[in-house]
Amino acid sequence: MSVFTVLNPATEEPVTTVTQPCAEETDSAIAGAAAALPGWRAVAPGDRARMLRAFAAAVDSAQEELAGLEVAGSGHPVGAARWEAGQVRDVLLYYSAAPERLSGRQIPVAGGLNVTFHEPVGVVGLIVPWNFPMPILSWGMAPALAAGCTVVAKPAEATPLTAMRIAALAREAGLPPGVFTVLPGKGSVVGQRLVDHPAVRKIVFTGSTEVGRSIMADCARQVKRLTLELGGKSANIVFADCDLERAAATAPYAVFDNAGQDCCARSRILVQRSVLEAFMALLEPAVRSVVVGDPASAATEMGPLISAAHRSHVASFVPEGAPVAFRGHAPSGPGFWYPPTVLAPVRPDDPAYTEEVFGPVVTVTPFSDEAEAISLANDTPYGLSGSIWTSDVGRAIRVARAVETGNLSVNSHSSVRYWTPFGGFKQSGLGRELGPDAPDAFTEAKNVFISTEGS
Ligand code: TAP
């Protein structure tokens, strides 16, 4: 057992301390989840649905409290934090409809029929990063519970507070002990134990590609089911025929949301050369007007970075002499602040252009035609998200089909809708979360033949 101090990223002051379990305590929690599994999977579908709705109602009642914890413990602007708590409620409500819809199939065969059942995969280990502690927790937790699995979740070490409160709300709402457990702690201890423990039958991991790769290798040893939601380096492609004002006005929010600590951040803006100058002239005031400051203020659009170490990492992408085109504001004094920063022109091998920064730094690169835009957008090992700005419907569809990413928006910077599938191509991940089929990924299809021949 060890003790971790949660810091307020906006003030650098301690918020609270959290006791972290060791590997043996992790084993006990996994045993508790395994013991709860037979009872939870046997709950009648309608009753499981009602319990998930009660859980959603408890989250709804605690929305302000949860938002306050995320403001203090993660530095999220309060407007965003309220939305994130609301997302947990909405995801639970959406998947509360799933237990009654987990239908199998009936397949005609000679001499009888085959039926398929969706059996819960078992205990699920859910490993969550620090950038969106509430939504990402809910994306794994809700469909897994709906499918009849029990869940042991590990929030990121730095941001455990909302997940811990959500686990308490689950109990208050009537979920039986062991059905949903949150273990704050280190990835190398609690997370690794979830990956290694044979009673955990599926891992849902969201985090860096580097850690995801090693978890995938560890899961392979047990042929353990796995979903990976990993890094991104997404392109925001701006064609000359688009509504340039709108494209420029929204571009900062496509990358500086959550201070750029967003897997879907469109951190490479690709602009058709003929409108590059006009676009930059529109982008500059948009970037300078992003409201960066006290996360507790309703007017704030961008808060601090998560930690001093992460700020140093982000700053390393903007060394002395970097091609800074313009920057927004950031408070001085305590807090892990970093200003919205636009780099242009950048070399194709500049790490700010090729690597995931996970901070408020964006590059702008010109292209000549559609083919070059697609080629630049795809020239990355990642493939998570992206945007296409054009008034030509045919081009929008052509480019959307050609860009190798899992989630694209046309004339919009939006990324995730919980009722549509979400996940990455290439090294951005494996499998899809969310959408109507997500509970299926927490089940195994069992195929049973029933003879209709007389004895
Ligand atoms: P990571 O360092 O990979 O950590 C993610 C989670 O894994 C944390 O809970 C971490 O625990 C845990 N972990 C670390 N080592 C582990 C191990 N050996 N075994 C099991 N668990 C382990 O990522 P991060 O820095 O928190 O998050 C940023 C990354 O996440 C970025 O690359 C971002 O793109 C990606 N991300 C992707 C998505 C989607 S949906 N694709 C969404 C958000 C973020 P500790 O906190 O103790 O290290």
Helix axes 161-172, 45-61, angle to 10 degrees: 130
Question: Which bin fits 205, alpha (ψ -120 to 50), beta or left (φ > 0)?
Answer: beta
Beta carbon of 186 within 6 Å of any ligand 1 atom: yes
The answer on pLDDT for 454 being more than 90 is: no
- 294 with 330: CB under 8 angstroms? no
CB 338 within 8 A of CB 360: yes
Give the residue, out of 193, 208, 264, 427, with the most ligand 1 atoms within 8 A of its beta carbon, to mutate for a pocket test.
208
Question: Which residues, at least 6 apart from 68, have a Cβ–Cβ distance to it below 8 Å?
Answer: 78, 81
Q: Is 231 in the pocket of ligand 1 (CB under 6 A)?
A: yes
**Calpha distance 18→2 (Å, rounded):** 8
Burial 254-290 (b: 16+ CB within 10 A, else e): bbbbbbbbbbbbbbbbbbbeebbeebbebbbebbeeb
- pLDDT for the residue numbered 80: 98
What pLDDT is recorded for position 148? 98
pLDDT at 106: 95
Cis peptide before 295 (omega within 30 of 0): no
Cα–Cα distance measured from residue 115 to residue 445, given in angstroms and rounded to the nearest whole number: 10
Radius of gyration (C-alpha) of the chain in whole angstroms? 23
Q: What is the pTM of this model?
A: 0.97
More reliable by pLDDT, 298 or 415: 298
CA distances from 222 to 148, 294, 386 (A): 22, 46, 35
Q: How far is the CA of 207 from the centre of ligand 1 (A)?
A: 3
How many CA atoms are closer than 13 Å to the CA of 183, on its beta-carbon side? 33
Q: Who wins on pLDDT, 163 or 415? A: 163
pLDDT in tens, 386-400: 999 999 999 999 999
- Parallel/antiparallel/unpaired status of strands 112-120 and 106-109: antiparallel
Concatenated DSSP letters of 350-373? -HHHHS---SSEEEEEEESSHHHH
Locus of tokens 């690794």: 192
Of 26, 87, 131, which is best to mutate to test ligand 1, by the most ligand atoms within 8 angstroms of its C-beta? 131
Q: Which ligand 1 atom minimizes the distance to the CA of 212?
A: 3
* Helix segments in 161-208, DSSP class H: 161-172, 192-196
pLDDT of 202 higher than 80: yes
CA atoms within 13 A on the CB side of 142: 34
The reported pLDDT for the residue numbered 273 is 98
Decide if pLDDT at 1 tops 80: no
Region for residue 13 given its phi and psi (left: phi exceeds 0; alpha: psi -120 to 50; beta: otherwise): beta
Atom of ligand 1 nearest to the CA of 422: 40
Kindly report the average pLDDT of the chain as a whole number: 97
Q: Does residue 65 have an active-site annotation?
A: no
Catalytic residue, chosen from 229, 301, 356, 433, is: 229
Alpha helices in 97-132 (DSSP H): none
DSSP 8-state class, residue 303: -
263 is catalytic: yes
Integer Cα distance of 98 and 90 in angstroms: 13
Asked whether the predicted pLDDT for residue 82 surpasses 90, the reply is yes
Question: Quick one: 242 exposed, middle or buried, by C-beta within 10 A (0-12, 13-18, 19+)?
Answer: buried
In this predicted structure, the answer to whether residue 113 has a pLDDT above a threshold of 90 is: yes
For 222-234, the pLDDT digits (tens) are: 999 999 999 999 9
**Most ligand 1 atoms within 8 A of CB, residue of 192, 206, 430 to mutate:** 206
User: 43 CA to middle of ligand 1, Å?
Assistant: 33
Is ligand 1 within 6 A of the CB of residue 382? no
Could you tell me if 424 and 229 are in contact, meaning their C-beta atoms sit under 8 angstroms apart?
Answer: yes
Question: Closest Cα to atom 6, ligand 1: which residue?
Answer: 129
Rounded to whole angstroms, how far apart are CA atoms 199 and 222?
10
In the block, which residue shows the tokens 């945007």? 387
Q: How far apart are CA 134 and CA 17, in angstroms?
A: 19
Q: Is the pLDDT at 309 greater than 80, yes or no?
A: yes
**Alpha carbon distance 71, 81 (integer Å):** 7
Residues 356-365 pLDDT 10s: 999 999 999 9
**Strand-by-strand arrangement of the 106-109 sheet:** 106-109, 112-120, 443-451
58-79 pLDDT, tens digit each: 999 999 999 999 999 999 999 9
User: pLDDT class for 415, splitting at 50, 70, 90?
Assistant: confident
Residue 266, CB-side half-sphere exposure with 13 Å CA sphere: 30
Residue in 219, 242, 263, 264 annotated catalytic: 263
pLDDT of 179 higher than 80: yes
Mean pLDDT value across residues 122-143: 98
Quick one: CA dihedral 281, 232, 134, 174, positive or negative?
Answer: positive
pLDDT surpassing 80 at residue 455: no
Calculated CA dihedral for residues 313, 319, 325, 330, nearest 10 degrees: 50
